[in-house]
Amino acid sequence: MFPFASLSGVNRKVTYSLSDSADGFFSVDRSSGIIILEHPLDRELQSSYNITVKASDQSIVLTLSSFSTVTITVLDINDNPPVFERRDYLVTVPEDTSPGTEVLSVFATSQDIGTNAEIAYLIRSGNEKGKFRINSKTGVISIFEALDFESCKDFYLVVEAKDGGTPALSAVTTVNVNVTDVNDNAPTFSQAVYSAVISEDAAVGDSVLMLIAEDLDSPPNGQIHFSIVSGDQDNEFSVDPVLGLVKVKKKLDRERISGYSLVVQARDSGTPPLSSSVTVNVDISDVNDNSPVFTPANYTAVIQENKPVGTSILQLVVTDKDSFHNGPPFTFTILTGNEEEEFTLDPHGVLRSAVIFKHMVSTEYVLCVQAKDSGKPQQVSHTYVQVRVIEESIHKPTAIPLEIFIVTMEDDFPGGVIGKIHATDQDVYDVLTYTLKSEQKSLFKVNSHDGKIIALGGLDNGKYVLNVSVSDGRFQVPIDVVVHVEQLVQEMLQNTVTIRFENVSPEDFVGLHMHGFRRTLRNAVLSQKQDSLHIISIQPVAGSSQLDMLFAVQMHSGGFYKPAYLIQKLTNARRHLENVIRISAILEKNCSGLDCQEQHCEQSLSIDSHSLMTYSTARISFVCPRFYRNVRCMCNGEYCSLFPSHHCTLCNRIHFIPLMQIRRGISIQSTKARLADAWWELISQAGEELFMFTDVNGSL
């Protein structure tokens, strides 16, 4: 390998030999001095060798020699694959570990050096879901996406370590990632709502229904405990904490509580525990355990002699606490007291006459009546009915004529009760019935039992005379009922005046004072006989004993007198008016409580035609719509509600200047600024900031 020059001549002829051949790994050519490799080298076992070469001449007399040390460095080739420090790895990770958290590090080495020993790591398989990633340089494996124990409990990652040689050599290892459970799943019920039906005679311990809940977590996190958390105030049910079986704990009574809405909780055993709830609707089915009940317990009735067969004597009232299929319809039977069959009892419990009774024959009957329900087995109850036979009616009914005034807003009458007929009969046991002639039933109705008169919707303006009669079964008497309908117009509302009365109710005013006061009022305010007085509404003043009467006066020509004119005439005639009823005030507009002068108070009147007030007395009934006053203060055409209330009295002295026109140099503190003797107040109007000012004395 390293030639040495030969000297000419024998003395100059050199031969080479090795004093140290490195355990025979090397030899040298005697003549050329070339060092020869005798055995294969392994850099990883020995990276360099030192050999001693001897050079000798060929002198015959005296051989001379010298020595030289030769260092042989073994260069690396990529002949060693990487080797992992462990053949496989095992790591345990909770499922709630955050992405980015390091799980473990794998490490591999190579006996080679340099580029051949540069290791790069990658996950070859087992990471198809992309849950992990590995640092290619450090071998650190970390979580890339959130883990879920319920989806996958174990991951087997095959990690490869590849060196930088050419060609590259590699090695693999297995990383087993064991995901442990955390309590991240609440129990879930198999149904959103459970329903069950159980009989009210169910025995204690009977099963109602089985609840099924599942927890995806593993034990012990997934172990479920059931409990009733609400809906069972009297502890009438229980639930098996492990099985979820709901049972009857106490005797049930459907008549006391017909159904329950239980809230059952399923709670797991994790730390902290998770839970969910479900509603369990339990309907209690009825059994026929209640007898019919008569109300009252016993009855007394009368019937006049000579009444026709089939006359209604009495209506039996029966109730049953059981459900409808165990209660009505009831079966009625007269058990005793009807041996001569003078009475019949229909399926509805109406006792009727089966003969024409005579007071002289018998004055009293006592019947024992049985009511049987529809349940199985049937339950029965009994009552006693005392029927007295009295002499027939000898007096005619008497009735008071009724006049009804209806005020409505332009074809917008909703209908309703407008009055009640008052009739009496000297025969104590007479039952009065009221009838209306059939041709008038398209507009009005009369309740046959109590005499209430009902008007249907859409009545036209005008006068209606109703053909009403009252009968005691023997005598029939006609009654005079007159209905006056007056429709309001909008112009009338704009010219109203209010008279406020003291200590009078609406009914007393209508029944005792309205006719007389109307007559006196006409004399006071009507300028011509052809003018019309319109009483629009009467309405109690809230929170007091006062009463407001709203009216307007229409000219013969069609227009309306202005309120100011009417108030003047009322003021002049007030003494005459108070001879009829005491007057508290005469108002054009009610500005009480507003902090502004009369000339700055504006009132608008609204009528609620669907909210009718009916004031009914024996002779007169007055039906009118409810009215509302809307009053407000005005300041230079703007609502006073925009400004502080103390400025409403200074409306004529208030000026506004846009904020942009205020010249500079004014010191603004809070919302006020002072310029000479003027105070400025910052307000907001329609979204634009303005300054309003007046001096302390109220003059500009």
d(CA 163, CA 160): 10
Instruction: Give the pLDDT confidence of 158-186 residue by residue, as tens digits.
Output: 999 999 888 889 999 999 999 998 888 89
Question: What type of residue is 643?
Answer: F
∠ CA 348-350-351 to the nearest 5 degrees?
A: 145
User: What is the pLDDT confidence band of residue 599, given thresholds at 50, 70 and 90?
Assistant: low
C-alpha closest to that of 455 among 466, 443, 465:
443
∠ CA 621-622-624 to the nearest 5 degrees?
A: 150
d(CA 295, CA 371): 12
Overall number of domains in the chain = 7
Is 277's pLDDT higher than 90? yes
Residue 2 lies in a domain: no
pLDDT confidence of residue 6: 43
Angle between helices 563-572 and 514-525 (to 10 degrees): 110
Instruction: State whether 374 and 417 are in the same domain.
Output: no
- Average pLDDT over every residue of 577-601: 73
C-alpha closest to that of 354 among 371, 372, 364, 339:
339
Residue with tokens 């009118």: 624
Instruction: Give the pLDDT confidence of 368-390 residue by residue, as tens digits.
Output: 999 999 988 899 999 999 999 98
Instruction: State whether 231 and 315 are in the same domain.
Output: no
Residue 646 lies in a domain: no
Final residue of a domain: which of 354, 373, 390? 390
Helix (H, G, I), strand (E, B) or coil at 80: coil
Final residue of a domain: which of 285, 314, 342? 285
Distance, CA of 144 to chain centre: 42
Bigger pLDDT: 260 vs 692: 260
Instruction: State whether 382 and 305 are in the same domain.
Output: yes
Instruction: State whether 480 and 507 are in the same domain.
Output: no
pLDDT confidence of residue 592: 56
Q: How far is CA 417 from CA 400, 453, 574, 677, in A?
A: 18, 6, 35, 66
Instruction: Give the pLDDT confidence of 642-697 residue by residue, as tens digits.
Output: 444 444 544 544 433 443 344 434 443 333 334 333 333 333 333 334 444 444 44
646: left (phi over 0), alpha (psi -120 to 50) or beta: alpha
Instruction: State whether 472 and 537 are in the same domain.
Output: no
Q: How many helices (H) and strands (E) does the chain have?
A: 5, 53
d(CA 19, CA 15): 13
Q: Answer whether 632's CB lies under 8 Å from 594's CB.
A: yes
Is 50's pLDDT higher than 50? yes
- Average pLDDT over every residue of 569-575: 92
Instruction: State whether 572 and 516 are in the same domain.
Output: yes
Helix or strand run (H / E) with residue 304: strand 299-304
Tell me: cis bond preceding 241? Omega within 30 of 0 counts.
Answer: no
Residue 481 lies in a domain: yes
Final residue of a domain: which of 464, 486, 508? 486
Instruction: State whether 93 and 171 are in the same domain.
Output: yes
CB-based burial, 344-363: b 16+ in 10 Å, e otherwise:
bbeeebebbbeeebeeeeee
Residue 638 lies in a domain: no
C-alpha closest to that of 205 among 158, 238, 243:
238
Residue 615 lies in a domain: no
Q: Quick one: CA dihedral 164, 167, 173, 174, positive or negative?
A: positive
Report the CATH number that the domain containing residue 45 is assigned in CATH. 2.60.40.60
User: What is the pLDDT confidence band of residue 459, given thresholds at 50, 70 and 90?
Assistant: confident
pLDDT confidence of residue 127: 94
Residue 105 lies in a domain: yes
Residue 408 lies in a domain: yes
Strands (E) across 4-134 are located at 14-20, 26-28, 35-37, 48-57, 65-73, 83-84, 88-94, 102-105, 108-109, 120-125, 132-134
C-alpha closest to that of 221 among 143, 277, 150, 154:
150
Distance, CA of 661 to chain centre: 51
Helix (H, G, I), strand (E, B) or coil at 522: helix
The structure tokens listed for 292 are: 């019919």
Domain boundaries, position 698:
654-700
- Average pLDDT over every residue of 585-604: 66
Instruction: State whether 506 and 577 are in the same domain.
Output: yes
Contacts of 130 (CB under 8 A, 6+ apart): 144, 145
Helix (H, G, I), strand (E, B) or coil at 643: coil
- Which DSSP symbol is given to 11? T
- Which DSSP symbol is given to 513? I
The structure tokens listed for 700 are: 């500009």
Q: CB 292: neighbour CB atoms within 10 A?
A: 27
Q: Answer whether 472's CB lies under 8 Å from 392's CB.
A: no
Q: How far is CA 557 from CA 410, 489, 554, 561, in A?
A: 20, 15, 8, 11
Rounded to the nearest integer, the mean pLDDT of the chain is: 85
